[in-house]
Structure 1
Amino acid sequence: MARETVIDLASPYQTGLTPADYRKVGAKKAIIKITEGTSYTNPDVRHLINQAAEGGVTGFSFYHFGRFQSDSQAVAEAKYFIEQAKKIVNPQPGTLMILDAEIKNMLTSSVVAFLNVLRDAGFKTGFYTYKYLLPSFNLEKIHQYMDFFWLAAYPLGDKPAGTSPDFNYFPSAPYVDAWQHTSRLLGYSLDGSITVTDNGNRLLSGPTPAQVKPAPKPQPKPQAKNTWVDDLGVKWYKEQGTFTITDPMGIWLRWGATTKSAKIAVLPRGAEVKYDAYCYSGGYVWIRQPRGNGQFGYLPTGEAKGNKRLNYWGVFK
């Protein structure tokens, strides 16, 4: 199997990483912290996703830092994790959702209770802990309720490490799918892991989550039958067609027709976008993509000067 680099993202530790930093690291998979206990939600989840995705990360999973020491509290924390995740990233059934178990005196029965809530909600379940804490858990019992096992052990301690760890120091334990081997990947304040099973590669390959609560979009004001001016003063023209991207780098689809609008996803070369209107705004020619439920995506299709197109990033038909 091909081993892959995996990164662990949380606030505030990795919020300063740029797309260029992510490209340097070269990871295609990231696991992002959503919650801790029943009162903390990561405020930077969308920022971390957007920066990582722009830097080349394509697979996203999510984790909760457990604070529970009873079965009932475990259930409450699992429900909080799911509730907050749905508000921010709306994980689809089958998404890998992981318990970070690194506090002392956490009961095996409580870990099982937590994982059961996740599994009953339709998610794949993951269990993470440190090698030194592993003897305090009944791994055979937990294994029945987890789909993914992520184990941490740092052979270099706090020293910077590369993306290819020395497997002479592999934390020998059954069922390991990914090994977190450093907290200083390439010298960054960044936990780095490596996959060791095909199961790990598959479960960590979840897609980039869509924005759940997009910023309010300009509402059109009827002006004429086939044109209107939105709240930003941009004139839109009604037109239906299909745009096929030819730019080899792809184009970002956004929740608004500005380069500062929240990103939905990068659409690759060859992707087809059906649209119902176009406009000239901010030096680009934009098209509007109907997405259902009254929502629209907005895609720049080339540069413009005023109302004159300068080039094309794709083909219209």
Structure 2
Amino acid sequence: MARELVIDLASPYQTGLTADDYRRVGAKKAIVKISEGTTYTNPDIRLLINRSAEGGVTGFSFYHYGQFHNDNQAVAEAWYFLDQTRKTVNPQPGTLMILDAEIKNMPTSSVIAFLKVLREAGFKTGFYSYLYLLPKFDLDAILQHADFFWLAAYPLGDKPADANPDFHYFPSAPKVDAWQFTPKLLGYNLDGSITVTENANQLLSGPTPVVETTPAPKPQQQQTDSWVDDLGVKWYKETGQFTITDQSGIWLRWGATTQSAKIAALPQGSVIKYDAYCYSGGYVWIRQPRGNGQFAYLPTGREANGKRQDYWGKFE
């Protein structure tokens, strides 16, 4: 099998990486942190996904940093992880969802309770931990409920490492699918892993790999009724709601371009509340505020030379 490089993305550690940085790293797979406990959600999920996708990443999986010490807490955190993942990335069934288990005194029964919630919700499940923590878990019992085992052990410690780990130092543990071998991949503040099974290659590719690479626009601080986002698009402040009348429906996206990642196909009759509009790529777009400071974008009709040509719905 061909081993593949995998990167771990979380805020604020990788938010400064550019698309060119990701191209230099060369990874095609990324595992993105969604949440921690039951109160924290990564505020930069879309930035990390879109910028890494622009830099060549095509497969995305997601993880939760567990803070629980009993089964009830584990179940609550699993549901929080699911809720936040659905709100921010809307994963398809079969997507790999991973528990990051690296705190002390985390019971095996609670790990299993967490994984059961994810599997029953229709997702593939993963378990991540450090080599030195494995004696604290009943690994055989856990792996009966995990489709993917991701193990961390750093032969070079915190020193920079290239993309070719020395397998003479491969951690001795059963059924490892991916080995996280450095926290400083190519000198970046970036955890690097390598797949060691075909199971890992397939699961990390995702059921529907992300191929759109246009990053979602990030508006500048809004001091007036108009502003220009990071893509150079000028936005105008306006509040209202839009009802889709087109029989074919319209794709809601993470950016105001037809290359931006899709969120959902909204059918005729859907109502979208918006707070701004723009002209971009031959269409008139509106911006929908979402939770955790995120926005979604919807084309509402065609435009030419800054003039609307038609309407795909009704404004109120």
Separation (CA, whole Å) in 2 of partners of 1:69 and 1:46: 30
* Structure 2 unaligned spans of 5+: 218-234, 239-250, 263-277, 286-296, 308-316
Separation (CA, whole Å) in 1 of partners of 2:85 and 2:44: 12
CA contact under 8 A between 1:131 and 1:152: conserved in structure 2? yes
Q: Which SS does the other structure have where 1:263 is aligned?
A: coil
- What does residue 185 of structure 2 align with? 185
- Per the normalisation by structure 2, the TM-score is 0.71
RMSD over equivalenced CA pairs, Å: 3.3
Separation (CA, whole Å) in 2 of partners of 1:35 and 1:54: 23
- Structure 2 matches for 1:228-247, cutoff 5 A? none
In structure 2, the CA distance between the partners of 1:109 and 1:25, relative to structure 1 (3 Å rule), is same
CA contact under 8 A between 1:256 and 1:297: conserved in structure 2? no
- What does residue 165 of structure 1 align with? 165
Q: What are the superposed Cα offsets for residues 219-272 of structure 1, whole Å, 9 maximum, x if unpaired?
A: xxxxxxxxxxx9899xxxxxxxxxxxxxxxxxxx9949967x99326xxxxxxx
- What does residue 260 of structure 2 align with? 263
Structure exhibiting the larger radius of gyration computed from Cα positions = 1
- What does residue 223 of structure 1 align with? none
Q: What are the superposed Cα offsets for residues 120-162 of structure 1, whole Å, 9 maximum, x if unpaired?
A: 1010000000000011100110011000000000000000001
In structure 2, the CA distance between the partners of 1:94 and 1:305, relative to structure 1 (3 Å rule), is same
CA contact under 8 A between 2:256 and 2:299: conserved in structure 1? no
How far off its partner does 1:172 sit?
1.4
Q: What are the superposed Cα offsets for residues 67-86 of structure 1, whole Å, 9 maximum, x if unpaired?
A: 00001100010010001111
Identity of aligned residues (%): 66
Q: Does 1:208 align with 2:210?
A: yes
- What does residue 272 of structure 2 align with? none
Q: Which SS does the other structure have where 1:118 is aligned?
A: helix
Separation (CA, whole Å) in 1 of partners of 2:115 and 2:30: 20
How far off its partner does 1:92 sit?
1.3
Q: Which SS does the other structure have where 2:261 is aligned?
A: strand
How far off its partner does 1:296 sit?
4.7
CA contact under 8 A between 2:254 and 2:261: conserved in structure 1? no
Separation (CA, whole Å) in 1 of partners of 2:210 and 2:108: 32
CA contact under 8 A between 2:79 and 2:117: conserved in structure 1? yes
Q: What are the superposed Cα offsets for residues 34-68 of structure 1, whole Å, 9 maximum, x if unpaired?
A: 00001100010011001011010000000000000
Q: What are the superposed Cα offsets for residues 288-308 of structure 1, whole Å, 9 maximum, x if unpaired?
A: 9xxxxxx855999xxx9889x
- What does residue 13 of structure 2 align with? 13
Separation (CA, whole Å) in 2 of partners of 1:299 and 1:8: 38
Q: Which SS does the other structure have where 1:76 is aligned?
A: helix
In structure 2, the CA distance between the partners of 1:114 and 1:232, relative to structure 1 (3 Å rule), is closer
CA contact under 8 A between 2:178 and 2:194: conserved in structure 1? yes
- What does residue 153 of structure 1 align with? 153
Separation (CA, whole Å) in 1 of partners of 2:283 and 2:305: 13
- What does residue 89 of structure 2 align with? 89
CA contact under 8 A between 1:60 and 1:209: conserved in structure 2? no
In structure 2, the CA distance between the partners of 1:19 and 1:200, relative to structure 1 (3 Å rule), is same
CA contact under 8 A between 1:5 and 1:195: conserved in structure 2? yes
* Structure 1 unaligned spans of 5+: 216-229, 234-252, 266-279, 289-294, 308-317
Q: Number of residues paired by the alignment?
A: 248
CA contact under 8 A between 1:254 and 1:263: conserved in structure 2? no
In structure 2, the CA distance between the partners of 1:254 and 1:81, relative to structure 1 (3 Å rule), is closer
Separation (CA, whole Å) in 1 of partners of 2:202 and 2:191: 20
Separation (CA, whole Å) in 1 of partners of 2:85 and 2:183: 25
How far off its partner does 1:91 sit?
1.1
Q: Does 1:35 align with 2:35?
A: yes
Q: Does 1:46 align with 2:46?
A: yes
- Per the normalisation by structure 1, the TM-score is 0.71
- Structure 2 matches for 1:81-120, cutoff 5 A? 81-120=81-120
CA contact under 8 A between 2:255 and 2:261: conserved in structure 1? no
CA contact under 8 A between 1:254 and 1:298: conserved in structure 2? no
Q: Which SS does the other structure have where 1:150 is aligned?
A: strand
Q: Which SS does the other structure have where 2:47 is aligned?
A: helix
Q: Does 1:61 align with 2:58?
A: no
Q: Which SS does the other structure have where 2:84 is aligned?
A: helix
Q: In the alignment, residue 87 of structure 2 is paired with which amino acid?
A: K
